[in-house]
């Protein structure tokens, strides 16, 4: 769902505006850089970090918030579903248009695993397959070359993974008592992660993973809330934001991010879409947000100018069983201007 007020009717793109004013940031102490002791299933350690004092103030001072949410299954656009199969139309109405914004040619995926004490495989994966495993496998798969036409460069091998873990993060409960993250909670987490890694800009993408049983609201009534269908509007989202620079409070850093609540729930995944278990629900939504982040990081690069849909929105109905680096994932396809259809190859 795209939200650009006054431009795309029927799509909600939120520039959640800047909270004005100056506020002193209290940055104290560095976080521990010790690994958590749990790997991601590939032998890679997940490094633990802590919330930075002053993170909440930094979140409130964030600016240029651009957020694009991925709707629940019942709210997705079905009108194009039959038109994208074997339809080699030149200048197809489904093709994406470039309007001049930046794209991401190479980056490190900074995975933030929130409140998961047993490791990402248990919280968002299947067996030894985790969000980190999937992103590494995708990075070395021909599938990622679908993006070459939009990036103007080779995507294969250009998107590594760093994994971070944080536990004990409190979220305010909803009226039903469910822990519920707010958008400021997310920006506080990202600010603390940026302070820990020192990494920001268009060469880093922060993916925030919330565990099962945690809701997420961008605004009142606009939530991921499988426990409350009256407010259950989206499954995940991506965007960009300007945050105060943790190393220089008078400056700012530009941060690309996505947020993936637990995806293996009705409304975000159908039983037949997850033959390999939870990892399929995680990987398909993660690939959706990843492909859209690199091709449309600030919501002003590549998208369908008629509908506002991005590269992954157009193909959500089409699942593909992908074998990547010896691992199998059932994930959605991506739209290609080159073949005017959904595909898993360039």
Token pair for residue 96?
Answer: 């994406």
Is the per-residue pLDDT at 345 higher than 90? no
User: Averaged over 298-311, what is the pLDDT?
Assistant: 95
pLDDT for 208 beyond 80: yes
pLDDT band at 27 (very low <50, low <70, confident <90, very high): very low
pLDDT in tens, 165-180: 999 999 999 988 999 9
Beta strands 204-209 and 248-260 are parallel
Kindly report whether the global pTM for this prediction surpasses the value 0.75. yes
Please say if the pLDDT value at position 41 is more than 90.
no
3 state SS for 96-161: CEECCCCCCCCEEEEEEEECCCCCHHHHHCECCECHHHHHHHHHCCHHHHHHHHHHCCCCCCCEEE
Instruction: Return the structure tokens found at 168.
Output: 């004990």
Tell whether the torsion through CA atoms of 117, 161, 323 and 68 is positive or negative: positive
The Cα 259–Cα 293 span in angstroms is 11
Q: What is the pLDDT averaged over residues 285-314?
A: 96
From the list 217, 242, 243, 239, the residue with the least C-alpha distance to 230 is 217
Helix (H, G, I), strand (E, B) or coil at 298: coil
Q: Express each pLDDT in 99-138 by its tens digit.
A: 999 999 999 999 999 999 999 999 999 999 999 999 999 9
| Residue 66 · residue 15 · CB < 8 Å | yes
**What pLDDT does residue 79 have?**
53
Domain ranges across the chain: 35-76+84-343
Contact 13, 4 (CB under 8 A): yes
Give the whole-number percent of the chain exceeding pLDDT 90: 76
Helix (H) or strand (E) holding 256: strand 248-260
Query: What is the three-class DSSP state of 38?
Result: strand
């Amino acid at each position: 769902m795209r939200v650009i007020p006054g431009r795309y009717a029927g799509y909600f793109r939120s520039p959640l505006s800047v909270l004005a004013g100056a506020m002193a940031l209290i940055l104290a102490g560095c976080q521990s850089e010790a690994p958590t002791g749990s790997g991601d299933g590939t032998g890679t350690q997940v490094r633990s970090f802590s919330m930075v004092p002053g993170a909440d103030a930094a979140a409130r001072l964030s600016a240029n918030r651009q957020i694009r949410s991925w709707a629940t299954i019942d709210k997705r656009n079905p009108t194009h579903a039959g038109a994208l199969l074997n339809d080699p139309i030149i200048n197809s109405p489904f093709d994406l248009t470039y309007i001049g914004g930046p794209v991401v040619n190479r980056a490190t995926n900074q995975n933030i695993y929130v409140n998961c004490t047993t490791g990402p495989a248990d919280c968002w994966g299947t067996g030894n397959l985790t969000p980190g495993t999937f992103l590494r496998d995708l990075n070395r798969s021909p599938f990622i070359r679908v993006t070459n036409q939009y990036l103007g460069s080779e995507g294969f091998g250009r998107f590594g993974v760093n994994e971070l873990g944080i536990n004990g993060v409190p979220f305010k409960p909803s009226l039903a008592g469910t822990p519920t993250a707010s958008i400021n909670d997310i920006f506080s987490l990202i600010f603390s992660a940026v302070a820990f890694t020192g990494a920001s800009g268009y060469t880093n993408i922060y993916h925030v993973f919330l565990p099962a049983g945690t809701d997420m609201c961008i605004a009142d009534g606009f939530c991921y809330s499988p426990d409350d269908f009256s407010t259950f509007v989206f499954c995940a989202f991506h965007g960009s934001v300007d945050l105060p620079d943790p190393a220089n409070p008078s400056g700012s850093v530009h941060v690309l991010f996505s947020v993936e609540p637990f995806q293996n729930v009705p409304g975000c995944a159908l039983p037949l879409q997850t033959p390999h278990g939870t990892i399929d629900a995680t990987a398909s939504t993660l690939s959706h947000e990843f492909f859209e982040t690199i091709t449309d990081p600030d919501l002003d690069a590549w998208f369908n100018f008629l509908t506002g849909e991005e590269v992954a929105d157009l193909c959500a109905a089409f699942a593909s069983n992908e074998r990547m680096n010896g691992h199998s994932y059932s994930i959605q396809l991506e739209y290609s201007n080159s073949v005017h259809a959904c595909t898993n190859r360039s």
